[in-house]
């Protein structure tokens, strides 16, 4: 997948994960970073459970990236001690 594909995947996954956890987006740049790091975390988690990680720009990869981004945001909120408005 190209760098443009990673940026678009990261933006969409980061925005959706931010909406799930925070009920608001984090901003374009931070959503991209959250989505890309979330894709890496989601791919690692899927590999640990016997699945495949991000395989390209498709629905499965988007779901993996969203799950990883949600996990990342929950961990960050737990460390920072901030409260999520979704829970």
Q: Tell me the mean pLDDT in the region 58-80.
A: 89
pLDDT at 85: 56
pLDDT band at 87 (very low <50, low <70, confident <90, very high): very low
% of the chain surpassing 70 pLDDT: 91
Tens-digit pLDDT profile for residues 13-42: 989 999 988 877 777 888 889 888 998 998
| Residue 86 near residue 20, CB atoms below 8 Å | yes
- pLDDT for 86 beyond 70: no
Place of tokens 């990869």: 61
């Amino acid at each position: 997948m190209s760098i443009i594909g990673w940026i678009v995947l990261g933006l969409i996954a980061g925005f959706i994960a931010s909406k799930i956890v925070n009920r608001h987006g984090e901003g374009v740049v931070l959503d991209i970073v959250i989505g890309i790091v979330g894709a890496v975390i989601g791919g690692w988690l899927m590999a640990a459970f016997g699945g495949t990680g991000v395989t390209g720009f498709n629905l499965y990869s988007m779901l993996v990236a969203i799950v990883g981004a949600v996990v990342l945001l929950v961990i960050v909120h737990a460390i920072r001690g901030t409260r999520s408005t979704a829970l």
